[in-house]
Amino acid sequence: MQETCGRFDAALPPGCHFLPWCVGRRVAGRLSLRVQQLDVRCETKSKDNVFVYVVASVQYRALEDRAYDAFYRLSNAREQIQAYVFDGTTSCYS
């Protein structure tokens, strides 16, 4: 992620880049575009009052054209995905 004077400028492709710091450009951070996996273990109660443990494996990746949203708007993507899975598993079995 390239910033110019503290403002998002562009998502840099992989490789070596020269950013003139004297003009105010800098690398703000790194964002992986690889597919990642998150295993979420949930405990939920079924309709017949039995507690069930469910392991959901979620594969996700950041889209290159939405890199700004993935880097600046999400504070912790893994926790947000985990909360979404918890909400989905409790509504499916209840």
| 16 and 40 co-located in one domain | no
- φ and ψ of 49, to 5 deg: 60, 40
Other beta carbons within 10 angstroms of residue 70's beta carbon come to 19
- pLDDT of res. 30: 80
Q: Give pLDDT tens digits along the chain (94 positions).
A: 777 777 777 777 777 777 776 777 777 778 788 899 999 888 877 788 888 888 888 898 888 888 888 888 888 888 888 888 877 665 554 4
- pLDDT of res. 94: 44
Output DSSP code: residue 22: G
Q: State how many domains the chain has.
A: 2
What string of DSSP letters covers 52-79?
Answer: EEEEEEEEE---GGGHHIIIII-S-HHH
Other beta carbons within 10 angstroms of residue 20's beta carbon come to 8
| 6 and 50 co-located in one domain | no
| 64 and 83 co-located in one domain | yes
| 48 and 85 co-located in one domain | yes
Q: pTM higher than 0.85, yes or no?
A: no
| 46 and 71 co-located in one domain | yes
